[in-house]
Structure formats: structure tokens, C-alpha cells
Structure 1
Amino acid sequence: MPPVLLHRYVDPLLGVFTGVFAYYLHETHPRTAPPPGQRLTELLEWKRDEMQRKRRERLAALEQQ
């Protein structure tokens, strides 16, 4: 059995929490913050909008046939 620090299920949760918290601090700290328009949430919104636009174009092309 591999060694564990706290508990079998707590260690992975602690690791995920630490990673998410570190990324949050990286994005909000004035020295390391990405330029406007390059934050993860903005990039995800852009990607979602692109996928929706392409889907609408595909559906419109299918309806014209």
C-alpha cells in the first residue's frame, strides 16, 4: 500500500484544491496576471462562442439542402 499523508481520499482532494488555488492566485496577482482578454474564463467563452457559431453554420447549411 502506498504511503499517504492524511487519508486515501483527502490527499487527492488537497492536491486539486492546491492546484486550483495556485492558478487563481496566478491569474489575480498584479505581477503575474495575464493581459486583458487572455484570462482562462475569457478564452473559454471565446471558444464556446466559436463552437456555437460553427454549429449554427453547419445547421444552416443542412437546412438549405
Structure 2
Amino acid sequence: MKVSYRLLITLLLIGVALVLTAAVFKTQHYPGSDYLILVGLAIQFVAGVLVVWKFANRLGNKE
């Protein structure tokens, strides 16, 4: 499966949206906001690692 930068950036933005939504929920003391923050951060982490991995592989192929 070929993963594009567009998909990775979209995943990263989804993670950012989840974290921001969870932050608003947390200020309103809604239940479950802790889990929403964790899910958003996990998505951001996975997308960030995949972006770095894809970029490193692209640099390795040029040399």
C-alpha cells in the first residue's frame, strides 16, 4: 500500500481537530474528554512517524 503525503497530512489534521475538540470538552467538564485527547495524540503520533519515515526513505532513494 502506497501512502501519500496528502493522506498523512489529513491524518495529522484529524488528530489536531480531535485534540482541540477534546480541549474544549475538557474545559466544559464533559466525560470522556481524556480519552478523546489520547486518541487525537495517538493519531498525530502515528501520522508524524509515518511522515518522517516516508521522507527518510525518499532521501535514501536519491543517494
Q: With structure 2 as the length reference, what TM-score do the two structures score?
A: 0.46
Give the number of the structure with larger relative contact order, counting CA–CA contacts within 8 Å between residues 6 or more apart. Answer: 2
Higher helix share: 2
Q: With structure 1 as the length reference, what TM-score do the two structures score?
A: 0.44
